[in-house]
Amino acid sequence: MNILTMLWKNLWGGSRTMLFPARPIVSERYRGLVRFDPALCSGCAICRMRCTARAIEFKAGKGEFTWSYEPGQCTFCGRCVEGCKEHALSQDSECPPIYTTPGELKKSYTIARKQTVKPAVVPATAAVAGQIEQAANPATGGAQ
């Protein structure tokens, strides 16, 4: 008799179906498409090393590098996001879209390397004098 009451309740209680084009809202921790922010990337290629499926490709050039991501190859594990020191990668709560041609979704970015700040050049005589002074006084630190 239990099954008959269940069927009766289902018949009048309405269906739990989402009507076709509607899609459910996913939770915050859902591992979806990987988002890349080119402004924050420093070109360390740790993400390419950590990627399990070779979805991330990194090509170093002179003064610039090319970073590309293929959502069709990706397995959405999140290792690249966890490994990025600059927090340039984040995972969306958006499912990857369906596509009809292989390789259609691949995105490439060519980013110029950032100019790093070089240390100031000290004149040669002052440097040598500073070294002799330091060598004569073993109590000070010296080179580690």
Partner 1 sequence: MKLWSKLMCYCRSRSPWIFHMNSGSCNGCDIEIVASLSPRYDAEQLGVRLEGSPRHADILCVTGPVTHNAVQAIKTVYGQVYGPKAVVAIGSCPATTNVFIDSRTLAGPLHKHIPVDVFVPGCPPRPDAIVLGIAKAAQILAARGSKPLVAAAEPEIVGDPGENCVSCACSSSEVQA
Partner 2 sequence: MMTPEIWGSLTTALARLLIFPGLLFAVPAAWFFLWVERKAVARMQGRIGPPFMQPFYDFIKLLGKDTPQRTGVGGMLMKAWPLIAVSAAAGAVGLLPVLPASGGFQGDLILLLALLELPSMCIIAAGFSSRSIFGEIGSSREAVLSVSYNVVFLLAIISIAASQHTFSLSALAQLPASPLRWLGIAAILVCLPAKLHLNPFSLPNAEQEIYSGPMVEYAGPELAMWELSHGLEWVAATGLVATLIVPAFTLWWIAALVFVALSFVIVLLLSVTAAATARLQIDTTVRFYWQCTIIFAVLAVASALFMRLKA
The contact set with partner 1 (CB under 8 A) reads 15-21, 23-24, 26, 52-54, 70-76, 95-102, 105
Q: Of 53, 138, 69, which is closest to residue 109 (Cα–Cα)?
A: 69
Least gap, CB of 12 to partner 2 (angstroms): 9
Q: Is 5 in the site for partner 2 (CB under 8 A)?
A: no
SS (H, E, C) 9-66: HHHHHCCCCCCCCCCCCCCCCCCCCEEECCCCCCCCCHHHHHCCCCCEEEEECCCEEE
Q: Which is nearer to partner 1, 24 or 141 (CB)?
A: 24
Least gap, CB of 110 to partner 1 (angstroms): 23
Q: Give the Cα separation of 7 and 2 in Å (integer).
A: 9
Q: Which is nearer to partner 2, 7 or 124 (CB)?
A: 7
Tokens matching residue 72: 């069709």
Q: Is 19 in the site for partner 2 (CB under 8 A)?
A: yes
- 88 neighbors 41 (Cβ within 8 angstroms): yes
Q: Which is nearer to partner 2, 13 or 102 (CB)?
A: 13
> Under the rule (CB under 8 A), what is the footprint of partner 2?
3-4, 7, 10-11, 13, 15-17, 19
